[in-house]
Structures are given as C-alpha cells and as structure tokens.
Amino acid sequence: MTDSRVREALHKLADAGTIAATTVCPVCDGGSRKRRTFSVNFDGALALYCCHRASCNVRGALALVSGGRSPVRTRDAFVPRALMSSYRLPHGLDAWGVDLARRGVRGLSDWSMRHGFRVLDRDPSTAVWVVRDVVGLDSGHVTRTRDKRVETWKTTPGPFYGCYSMRELATRPVWIVEDPLSAALLERPAIALYGTNLSREMVAEWRGAGLRNFIVALDADAYTGAGRKACERLRAAGCNAAHAYLGRGDIKDMTPERRAEVVEYAERAFDL
C-alpha cells in the first residue's frame, strides 16, 4: 500500500498538472541536507515514483484516477528567464573571494573569467554562474546564496547543465559532478548536473559532440542510486563510464591536496 505521505504528495503534483518532477521525498525528507531525491513521472493517470536515496528506496506506482478519461497533461512552452540584476567579477574582499581562496583558488579574476563565475553587483554574497553547454554556448545562469538558496535562469530550451575546462578534452575524461563549484575546482573537463539527475537528452547531446569517456563523481550518498544509474545510462549510449566513489564530502569541500589525490587516483585507476 502506498504511504499516505507519498499519496498526498502525488495528488498535489497531479493537481498542478505536473508531467515529471524531482523533489524532496515525503518519507525520508531528503536526509539532513534535504536533497531532491524523489522522482515522479506521470503516465496518464498512473504516477510512477522512486526515491533515489540509498537508505530510503521508496518506490512504486499509484493510479490517481479510477475509470473515465485520464487527465491530459502538456508541457509548457519554453519561456526564457532573464537574469535582470547586474553582476561583476569577484575580488578578494568579497565573501566568495575569501571562500575561494580557502579552497585553494589562486588568481581569482582569471579563474572567474575561465569558469564563468561572478557575484551580484548589489549583493556580493550571491554567486552567479554563467552556464555554458557542451558546444560552449551560454544557456543561462545559476545563482547561489551563502545560505544555499539556488535559482536557475534559463535562456535556451533543452537539457540544462554546465561545462567547465572543456579545452583540455583531447587528453582527459570528463568528470560528472553535481554542482558548478566542484566542477570548476577540479580544473579538468567537467560537467555540473545541478543535481543528481542525468537525463537521456543530456547524454544524447554529449555523444553528438563526440564525448565518450566519463568519470561519474556524484556525492557519496548518491553512490548506490544516481551514480550507478548515471553510469548505466552512459554505457547504454556507448560511452566509457566509471564511478569514482569519493568517500565523505563533496569535491568542493575537500582540501586542495585531497582533491588532487582523488583526481590522480581516479584517472589512473579508470585508465580513461
């Protein structure tokens, strides 16, 4: 029997005309970090749901309409969201500048230019990441406050992800991580998913651009769920993929020395 909390969440999504969504699990609440691990897809009147958190694994299907005609759901037309606030390069006295220095970034202006990192002009505590797709075109922005509030500002339709350090692609595999800061700090070809969901549309774009070798380095608590699923999806598309289990902590929270060790170990061990 479907948990009453899941049933209530599914009905709310259905009433809003949702086709697919990823949100906080109504059962495990996404853990201490309140991750969006609960995926829902509606197939007519049938709701298919699954929590990808290893310690939860709530999953199943629920018929929301008994008999009669299923509700019709259509995807909204793409409406660009323009970032209206002005932004600038950070400097060493900004909160983010101090934070990046602690994480091992040297030459802040050059690093920011290369990775599309900015801060809001009127609120330097809010970071702005310029999002570029696999062919180097800008597809929007992502803002993140110091208290971890994230907003997405899309300017193109289609899959939304960010590519970093792709000029080194000829000699290195591409790392797949969750957030732009981890991707930028790697100083390796990297893709930030802005979450843990790697879609078929993303993989199709990457294969179309000639990408084949990947190291999947999602957070440790996504290891048995999203990380494995990402590897399986890449391999099914004809890619070489390996999962880099990094232990506790995100890449962005590692010391520069630990981050270098992880990169060296993964690229040697997987021989991609």
Do 164 and 218 lie in one domain? The reply is: yes
Do 34 and 136 lie in one domain? The reply is: no
The domain spanning residue 114 has which CATH number?
3.40.1360.10
Do 159 and 208 lie in one domain? The reply is: yes
For 143-153, what is each residue's pLDDT tens digit?
A: 999 888 899 99
Do 40 and 93 lie in one domain? The reply is: no
Tell me what pLDDT residue 120 has: 94
Asked if residue 74 belongs to a domain, the reply is: no
Mean pLDDT of 249-254: 84
Of the listed ranges 56-60, 72-76, 88-92, 135-139, the one predicted with least confidence: 72-76
For 106-131, what is each residue's pLDDT tens digit?
A: 999 999 999 999 999 999 999 999 99
Tell me what pLDDT residue 222 has: 46
Distances (CA, A) of 103 to 116, 121, 125, 151, 190: 17, 23, 16, 23, 18
Mean pLDDT of 207-225: 78
Q: For the chain, what is the domain count?
A: 2
Tell me what pLDDT residue 67 has: 41
Tell me what pLDDT residue 70 has: 46
Asked if residue 120 belongs to a domain, the reply is: yes
Asked if residue 77 belongs to a domain, the reply is: no
> Is the separation of the CB atoms in 176 and 230 below 8 Å?
yes
Mean pLDDT of 7-24: 82
Tell me what pLDDT residue 227 has: 82
For residue 41, give the nearest of 18, 11, 9, 70 by alpha carbon: 18
State which residues form the domain around 44. Answer: 4-63
Q: Quick check: 245 pLDDT over 50?
A: yes
Do 138 and 265 lie in one domain? The reply is: yes
How do strand 20-23 and strand 59-63 relate by DSSP bridges?
unpaired
Tell me what pLDDT residue 220 has: 59
Do 92 and 43 lie in one domain? The reply is: no
Mean pLDDT of 236-258: 83
Do 183 and 112 lie in one domain? The reply is: yes
Asked if residue 78 belongs to a domain, the reply is: no
The kind and range of the H/E element at 251 are none
For 65-99, what is each residue's pLDDT tens digit?
A: 544 444 545 556 777 888 888 999 999 889 999 99
Asked if residue 73 belongs to a domain, the reply is: no
Do 162 and 247 lie in one domain? The reply is: yes
Q: For the chain, give the percent of residues with pLDDT over 70.
A: 88
Do 136 and 241 lie in one domain? The reply is: yes
Asked if residue 121 belongs to a domain, the reply is: yes
Edge-to-edge strands, sheet with 59-63: 20-23, 38-43, 46-51, 59-63
- pLDDT tier at 271 (50, 70, 90 boundaries)? low
Give the separation between CA 133 and CA 234, rounded to whole angstroms: 18
Do 53 and 93 lie in one domain? The reply is: no
The kind and range of the H/E element at 44 are none
- Count of residues making up the chain: 272
Mean pLDDT of 216-225: 66
Tell me what pLDDT residue 47 has: 84
Tell me what pLDDT residue 145 has: 92
Asked if residue 210 belongs to a domain, the reply is: yes
Tell me what pLDDT residue 29 has: 87
Asked if residue 59 belongs to a domain, the reply is: yes
Do 141 and 215 lie in one domain? The reply is: yes
Do 21 and 94 lie in one domain? The reply is: no
**Backbone dihedral angles phi then psi of residue 119, each to the nearest 5 degrees:** -130, 155
